[in-house]
């Protein structure tokens, strides 16, 4: 048994009384106590001293104080009756000398103060203005009710208003020898608790009980009338009760039913009756304890079956005195003051074992000793857990049971409430769980977003460092394209296949978008100079390191192609992906809807830019014989129509003689660049053509090239011949004849010639740019030829300037002049060194 250290405050100490018949009664400011002698002490808790001593004519056996406006005390004296006296009021002024506390006033109470004279009265109780006395006469217990008549103010007059009897038990005579020691009957008053006022600060014998149990125990009528019920624990162990304000003889048949009924029998002298286990509607248990330690707990049944449960428990006796508070029973066995926690659960727990067994274990509800011995009288105070006790040695003490004791024994609610509370708790847990789940999801998505951001930043860093050098081949993330033609009934269409290769150590996360921007050449003839731009955004799937991703983009069908096309590849990472939005469906317009600036909302990384020129769209090896399309029906007509009438006319007139354009490149240069072919070898020509047509669709079919002549045709119809031959220019260089490679483009269509010429020049230019870094060729160019070339170029430039001037002649003349210029330009005999 774990002991609790409770705080004890000794108020005062009297002489050893050595009697267990001491009694205490307390009001708000005063404690009345008697040790069973003739004197009654009035102790002021405020001043901590005895303020008055009342001397009665015979020993005081019971007392009660009324702290109401009349300030009265009631005392029962042996062989005398019930006295009523006003409490001596403090008249003496506070003493100036602290050392000499004022002496208590001593006053004798004469028999004039007797309000009910009956020498057989054993016990009394005051309920409001009704005095109830119990007396034993001729082995009959008499209950008498006296009502205070409020007419006389000085001396109380009590008028008898009722009396009834119950016979004492026959076995009483057998116990005659111990009769002297048996305690007097215990009277308590129990009221049904109202909603507002079940917390009692009334007299200590007045208890409340929750209405439901009250109805079950004491009947419907008392409950309806809110009638107090007087409970009496007789020395023979019977617990009798009678309602205080009912029509007792109101029986339908008229048989006189005695109002006193027996609730239970403890079969040992009753020491205390009270109520405890305060619930929402008031105390839930009726508690009675017998002298030998038998404890009766009456509670309501949990189930709906009507009835109450009477549970008897046993504690170690003998019990000298007892009191209760909200949830505990305190009882004294003289050797110790014990606390027993009462709960409604006691009732249900031990119910099954039946109320018959005498030694019922209390389970975990075992009494706990407070290690205070010799308590002979105890009353609880208004403060929970604080008792006022009087010990055998005459000490008046305040005992405060530590809060930890209460904390450990948190009172359990009744199971009906418990079910509700459990439901509430479960619902609460559910709510928390839901919130935790959503929080976790958010956290996960944020983590994911951070991971993705990390990847993206890595890739950004990677790409931005690599963007400076133009070596596409070494870029970890590469994008390259191929073109091929797709033939269908609706017409041929050019398919651009782009492949992204991820050679970086990072993973390209899903959510990245491959942005493909296709720009056509600005149309010369159109009035507005805007280029036609087409944008594709392709969401990338997750691309691990080493994987590649291929996508096919249809370019426009043949007739609508505006070649060369410049295609810009970039990786775009919309920052909104961070917010967990589905970026797969995002377009730029969506982003703007989200009130993000399109540039700030996206991280854009340029990958590659590719140009699709005429060489890429040339169809090699497929002669027109496969396509039996008459020239009249050829789409070229439409194409040329779109290009202007002049060109169409020109095309017609040039049927006799195809247009041609030539490019001269130093063969040495080419050789060093392409890295193969010997001097004067046919192979160099083949090699050059091979290089030029490496990306051309259909070129595979004729490769390796056998001859330096390649025939092809454009999608729009006109056939094209590419011819490469080696020749020697003598007048160009001072050092001697220069071997150059002449690349000739021949076609019926001027557009094709121009386009191819331009494409070849562009490619060579790109090739030579790389070369220029490597080889430092210093050649002495021949002066005269150079001069002639410069002069020619100058004159061409001048003419072009003139033709572009605003004062130029009509459009026909202008185009004519330009065409001639072009002819001359393309016949330019300059060689690229």
* Least distance in angstroms from the C-beta of 209 to another protein: 13
Instruction: Output the CA torsion 582→588→593→595 (10° steps).
Output: 100
Stretch that binds another protein, among 152-160, 412-420, 679-687, 767-775 (CB under 8 A): 152-160
Site for another protein in 161-220 (CB under 8 A): 161-162, 166, 212, 215-216, 219-220
* Least distance in angstroms from the C-beta of 281 to another protein: 12
DSSP annotation of 94? P
Instruction: Please tell me whether residue 590 binds another protein under the rule CB under 8 A.
Output: no
Q: Residues in contact with another protein, total (CB under 8 A)?
A: 49
- Tell me the three-class secondary structure of 187-256, residue by residue: EEEEEECCCCCCCCCCCCCEEEECHHHHHHHHCHHHHHHCCCEEEEECCCCEEEEEECCCCCCCCCCCCC
* Least distance in angstroms from the C-beta of 317 to another protein: 26
Closest CA to 124 of 28, 23, 192, 35: 23
**Phi then psi dihedrals of residue 765, to 5 deg:** -60, -45
Of residues 160, 408, 820, 824, which one binds another protein by CB under 8 A? 160
Instruction: Please tell me whether residue 152 binds another protein under the rule CB under 8 A.
Output: yes
**Phi then psi dihedrals of residue 289, to 5 deg:** -130, 140
**Phi then psi dihedrals of residue 820, to 5 deg:** -65, -40
Closest CA to 236 of 206, 273, 264: 264
Nearer to another protein, 125 or 166 (CB): 166
Nearer to another protein, 214 or 406 (CB): 214
- Using an 8 Å Cβ cutoff, are 21 and 61 in contact? yes
Residue 16 CA to residue 395 CA, distance in Å, equals: 8
Nearer to another protein, 161 or 809 (CB): 161
Q: Which two tokens stand for residue 457?
A: 């930043």
Q: Residue 481 to residues 384, 588, 611, 696, 760: CA-CA distances in angstroms? A: 90, 25, 10, 11, 19
* Least distance in angstroms from the C-beta of 377 to another protein: 29
Of residues 96, 151, 195, 407, which one binds another protein by CB under 8 A? 151
Q: Helix count (H) and strand count (E) of the chain?
A: 16, 43
Nearer to another protein, 210 or 613 (CB): 210
Nearer to another protein, 262 or 777 (CB): 262
Instruction: Please tell me whether residue 140 binds another protein under the rule CB under 8 A.
Output: no
Q: Which two tokens stand for residue 375?
A: 């308590």
Binding mask 740-779 for another protein (x = CB under 8 A): ----------------------------------------
* Least distance in angstroms from the C-beta of 293 to another protein: 25
3-state secondary structure of 684: helix
300 DSSP β-pair partners: 308
Residues in the chain: 833
Nearer to another protein, 250 or 524 (CB): 250
- Using an 8 Å Cβ cutoff, are 368 and 338 in contact? yes
Nearer to another protein, 130 or 591 (CB): 130
Please identify which residue in the block is written with the tokens 């006319």: 649
Nearer to another protein, 159 or 707 (CB): 159
Nearer to another protein, 261 or 371 (CB): 261
* Least distance in angstroms from the C-beta of 245 to another protein: 5
Of residues 140, 157, 419, 629, which one binds another protein by CB under 8 A? 157
* Least distance in angstroms from the C-beta of 239 to another protein: 12
- Using an 8 Å Cβ cutoff, are 669 and 688 in contact? no
Q: Which two tokens stand for residue 1?
A: 């048994």
Stretch that binds another protein, among 154-162, 384-392, 458-466, 753-761 (CB under 8 A): 154-162
* Least distance in angstroms from the C-beta of 278 to another protein: 19
Binding mask 96-115 for another protein (x = CB under 8 A): ----------------x---
Site for another protein in 212-271 (CB under 8 A): 212, 215-216, 219-221, 223-228, 244-258, 260-262
Residue 813 CA to residue 166 CA, distance in Å, equals: 146
Nearer to another protein, 161 or 450 (CB): 161
* Least distance in angstroms from the C-beta of 302 to another protein: 13
Using CB under 8 A as the criterion, which residues of the chain lie in contact with another protein when the complex forms?
112, 117, 127-130, 147, 151-152, 154-155, 157, 160-162, 166, 212, 215-216, 219-221, 223-228, 244-258, 260-262, 304-306
């Amino acid at each position: 048994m774990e002991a609790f250290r409770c705080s004890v405050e000794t108020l005062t100490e009297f002489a050893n009384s050595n009697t267990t018949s001491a009694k205490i009664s307390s009001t708000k400011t005063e404690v009345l106590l008697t040790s069973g002698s003739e004197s009654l002490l009035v102790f002021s808790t405020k001043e901590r001293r005895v303020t008055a001593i009342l001397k009665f004519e015979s020993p005081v056996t019971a007392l009660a104080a009324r702290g109401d406006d009349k300030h009265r005390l009631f005392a029962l004296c042996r062989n005398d009756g019930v006295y009523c006296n006003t409490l001596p009021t403090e008249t003496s002024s506070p003493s100036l000398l602290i050392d000499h506390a004022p002496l208590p006033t001593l006053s004798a109470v004469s028999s004039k103060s007797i309000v009910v004279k009956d020498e057989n009265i054993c016990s009394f109780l005051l309920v409001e203005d009704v005095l109830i006395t119990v007396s034993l006469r001729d082995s009959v217990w008499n209950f008498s009710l006296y009502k205070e008549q409020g007419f006389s103010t000085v001396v109380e007059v009590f008028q008898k208003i009722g009396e009834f009897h119950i016979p004492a038990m026959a076995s009483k005579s057998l116990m005659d020898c111990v009769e002297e020691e048996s305690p007097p009957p215990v009277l308590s008053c129990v009221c049904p608790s109202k909603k507002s006022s079940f917390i009692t600060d009334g007299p200590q014998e007045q208890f409340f009980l929750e209405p439901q149990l009250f109805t079950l125990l004491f009947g419907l009528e008392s409950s309806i009338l809110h009638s107090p019920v007087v409970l009496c624990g007789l020395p023979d162990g019977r617990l009798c009760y009678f309602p205080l304000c009912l029509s007792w003889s109101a029986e339908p048949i008229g048989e006189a039913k005695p109002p006193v009924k027996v609730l239970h029998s403890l079969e040992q002298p009753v020491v205390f009756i009270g109520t405890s286990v305060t619930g929402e509607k008031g105390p839930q248990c009726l508690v009675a304890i017998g002298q030998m330690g038998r404890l009766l707990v009456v509670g309501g049944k949990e189930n709906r079956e009507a009835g109450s449960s009477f549970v008897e428990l046993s504690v170690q006796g003998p019990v000298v005195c007892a009191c209760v508070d909200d949830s505990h029973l305190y009882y004294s066995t003289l050797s110790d003051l014990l606390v027993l926690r009462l709960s409604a659960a006691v009732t249900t727990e031990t119910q099954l074992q039946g109320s018959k067994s005498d030694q019922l274990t209390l389970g975990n509800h075992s009494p706990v000793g407070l290690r205070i011995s010799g308590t002979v009288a105890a009353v609880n105070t208004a403060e929970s857990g604080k008792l006022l006790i009087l010990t055998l040695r005459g000490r008046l003490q305040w005992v405060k049971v530590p809060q930890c004791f209460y904390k450990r024994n948190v009172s359990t609610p009744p199971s009906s409430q418990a079910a509700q509370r459990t439901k509430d708790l479960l619902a609460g847990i559910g709510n928390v769980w839901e919130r935790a789940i959503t929080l976790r999801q958010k956290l996960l998505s944020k983590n994911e977003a951070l991971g993705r951001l990390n990847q993206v930043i890595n890739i950004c860093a990677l790409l931005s460092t690599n963007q400076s050098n133009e070596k596409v081949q070494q870029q970890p993330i590469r994008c390259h394209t191929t073109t091929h033609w797709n033939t269908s009934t609706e017409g041929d269409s050019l398919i651009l296949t782009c492949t992204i290769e991820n050679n970086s150590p990072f993973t390209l996360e899903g959510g990245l978008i491959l942005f493909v921007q296709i720009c056509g050449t600005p149309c010369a003839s159109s009035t507005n100079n805007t280029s036609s731009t087409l944008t594709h955004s392709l969401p990338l799937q997750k691309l691990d390191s080493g994987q590649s991703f291929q996508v096919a983009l249809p370019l426009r069908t043949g007739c609508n192609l505006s070649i060369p096309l410049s295609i810009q590849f970039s990786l775009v990472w919309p920052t909104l992906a961070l917010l967990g939005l589905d970026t797969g469906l995002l377009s730029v317009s969506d982003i703007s809807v989200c009130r993000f600036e399109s540039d700030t909302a996206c991280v854009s990384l340029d990958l590659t830019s590719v140009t699709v020129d005429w060489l890429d769209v040339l169809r090699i090896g497929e002669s027109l014989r496969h396509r039996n399309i008459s020239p009249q029906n050829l789409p070229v007509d439409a194409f040329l129509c779109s290009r202007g009438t002049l060109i169409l006319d020109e095309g017609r007139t040039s049927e006799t003689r195809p247009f041609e354009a030539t490019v001269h490149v130093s063969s040495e240069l080419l050789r060093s660049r392409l890295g193969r072919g010997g001097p004067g070898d046919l192979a160099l020509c083949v090699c050059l053509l091979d290089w030029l047509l490496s990306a051309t669709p259909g070129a595979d079919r004729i490769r390796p090239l056998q001859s330096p002549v390649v025939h092809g045709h454009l999608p729009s119809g006109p056939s094209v011949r590419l011819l490469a031959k080696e020749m020697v220019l003598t007048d160009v260089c001072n050092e001697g004849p220069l071997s150059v490679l002449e690349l000739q483009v021949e076609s019926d269509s001027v557009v094709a010639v121009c386009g191819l010429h331009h494409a070849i020049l562009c490619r060579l230019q790109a090739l030579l740019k790389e070369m220029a870094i490597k080889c430092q060729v210093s050649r002495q160019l021949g002066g005269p030829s150079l001069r002639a070339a410069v002069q020619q170029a100058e004159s061409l430039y001048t003419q072009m300037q003139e033709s572009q001037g605003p004062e130029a002649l009509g459009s026909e003349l202008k185009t004519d002049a330009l065409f001639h210029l072009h002819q001359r330009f393309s016949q330019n005999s300059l060689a690229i060194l």
